[in-house]
Amino acid sequence: MREAHPLERQVGIDYYVSDGDGVGGRLRGTPADFRVRELEAVDPEPLDADPSAYPHLLVRATLTDWDTNDFAGALSDALGVSRERVSWAGTKDKRAVTTQLFSIRGIEAPDLPALDGADLEALGRTGRNLEFGDLAGNAFEIRVSEPERPDAVGDVRDALRAFGGGRPAVPNWFGHQRFGSRRPVTHEVGLHVVREEWREAVLAYVGNPAETEPERTREARATVEAVAASDDPDWRAALEATPGHLGYERSMLHRLVENGGRDPADFRAALEAVPWNLQRLFVNAAQSVAFNRICSERLRRGLPFDRPVAGDVVCFADADAPADLRLPDTDRVQRVTEDRVDVVARHCERGRAFVTAPLVGTETTLGEGDPGDVERSVLDDLGLSPADFDLPGNFDSSGTRRAILVDTELTVERDPLTLSFSLPRGSYATAVLREFLKADPRDL
């Protein structure tokens, strides 16, 4: 197997499944080169539905060059409401044209503001806010600029088809952006949180300068680390040295200034100063790096992804998914015994079942046999166990399972080189794109 880029190996992605060279080139020359459209799974009530029963306005937003979190903040500011009243089903990349759903509690359609780079359409009302996963999947149309070896696209597609047992498929990696595209540290923060190392978690996020950051940002993070190393930390000095665009870092430092920043409880409170979804993302990133490492170890040991072996835990397909989308239902799982391997393998071949690996949490069921040995060896290496995820507040996680393979019908246009495909919710386009470009993950 071809070894992955060094930055990918930092987040548990150790290999490519296609050995040949990629097409090269680059993505996102313009936002229009990377288009993402949510495959919606929400059926709202009409716009004139009773707002006391359906308090949330459902909005379809087509955004150009907007980070989802930044847009939610700009939208709440323009409406003059708390950011906590804005929710969405999936986080999208910034340098792209994205079409996605948002819900906003307590407003009417005429209240929607005009924002640059945003086209907003009120769809109806719902009785609850959107939550992560309230979509079936995403459809992508991605143009590769200046490919160096465009003819390599066929060889890569053939390799992915062989890996998927007939359909183009890749390991269902958590993409590099899950951990921070330019500064992949969210899993480091999360691993500290799971170990209840609150001080170390804060400093991994607020300090910890990266070479890829602007000089002013690196200097601010270095100041934080110098303050933290002092016998009498002056957190106000660290706050004053931190530029305004580092909003979450400043929120944490504000909380340290308020509380003194001496005790573990002060650092936990600092982490809780950021939005709830970011708090959860820290722990999710720790789960994600463990999942990636399990997939890498499974590849290294030569265990299949498109069919089970004895001891695997499989989940079944979501019967309500769109007809052309294979969507796993991880609430329906089953351990595969030796006498059921062939039967379940046929279900996998027909898209009715999926081999899974754990996103470890307090209620995680681990595999047995060789798959279970892979899972336990990775968790042992990371110093994690399911009980560690019994955590306070938004950091707690019961865990789940995740399909280890994602396949898709893949359309390729040659001039310009454009890849079009759909993926189920939670799967990353970069898991597919990395195989075709073989590029630095920061360029994906």
Concatenated DSSP letters of 250-271: HHHHHHHHHH-S-SHHHHHHHH
Q: Is the pLDDT of residue 421 over 90?
A: yes
pLDDT band at 177 (very low <50, low <70, confident <90, very high): confident
pLDDT band at 321 (very low <50, low <70, confident <90, very high): confident
Q: What is the DSSP string of 266-321?
A: HHHHHHTTS-HHHHHHHHHHHHHHHHHHHHHHHHHHT--SSS--TT-EEEEE-TTS
The partner residues of 257 in beta bridges, in order of sequence, read none
Contacts of 221 (CB under 8 A, 6+ apart): 206, 207, 208, 209, 213
d(C-alpha 332, C-alpha 310), whole Å: 18
pLDDT at res. 55: 97
Token pair 């996605």 is found at: 100
Range 156-183 average pLDDT? 92
Per the CB < 8 A criterion, the answer to whether 204 and 188 are in contact is yes
d(C-alpha 307, C-alpha 83), whole Å: 44
The H or E element that residue 428 is part of is none
pLDDT at res. 142: 96
Per the CB < 8 A criterion, the answer to whether 100 and 89 are in contact is yes
Summarize pLDDT for 236-291 with one digit per residue, the tens: 999 999 999 999 999 999 999 999 999 999 999 999 999 888 999 999 999 999 99
Q: Is the pLDDT of residue 38 over 90?
A: yes
Q: Is the pLDDT of residue 323 over 80?
A: no
Instruction: Give the mean pLDDT of the chain.
Output: 95
Q: Is the pLDDT of residue 23 over 80?
A: yes
pLDDT band at 381 (very low <50, low <70, confident <90, very high): very high
d(C-alpha 409, C-alpha 422), whole Å: 7
pLDDT at res. 51: 95
The H or E element that residue 375 is part of is helix 369-382
Domains, in order of start, for the chain: 2-27+144-172+408-443 (no CATH), 33-137 (3.30.70.3160), 186-274 (1.10.1510.30), 287-403 (3.30.2350.20)
pLDDT at res. 189: 98
d(C-alpha 284, C-alpha 275), whole Å: 14
pLDDT at res. 444: 82
Q: Is the pLDDT of residue 225 over 80?
A: yes
Nearest to 361 by CA among 286, 297, 277: 286
The amino acid that residue 297 corresponds to is: E
d(C-alpha 182, C-alpha 211), whole Å: 9
CA dist list (Å): 316 to 153, 313, 321, 385:
31, 10, 12, 26
Range 434-440 average pLDDT? 94
β-strands 56-64, 97-105: how paired? antiparallel
The gap between the terminal CA atoms of the chain, to the nearest Å, is 21
pLDDT band at 94 (very low <50, low <70, confident <90, very high): confident
d(C-alpha 421, C-alpha 343), whole Å: 29
Range 139-166 average pLDDT? 95
| Coil vs helix vs strand at 383 | coil
Q: Is the pLDDT of residue 366 over 80?
A: yes
Evaluate the omega torsion of the peptide bond into residue 147 and state whether it is cis, within 30 degrees of 0. Answer: no
Nearest to 93 by CA among 25, 19, 21, 33: 33
Nearest to 41 by CA among 435, 395, 425, 410: 425
Tell me which residues are annotated as active site: 93
Percent of the chain residues past pLDDT 90, beyond the cut: 88
pLDDT band at 132 (very low <50, low <70, confident <90, very high): confident
pLDDT at res. 442: 84
pLDDT band at 78 (very low <50, low <70, confident <90, very high): very high
pLDDT band at 81 (very low <50, low <70, confident <90, very high): very high
Q: Is the pLDDT of residue 181 over 80?
A: no
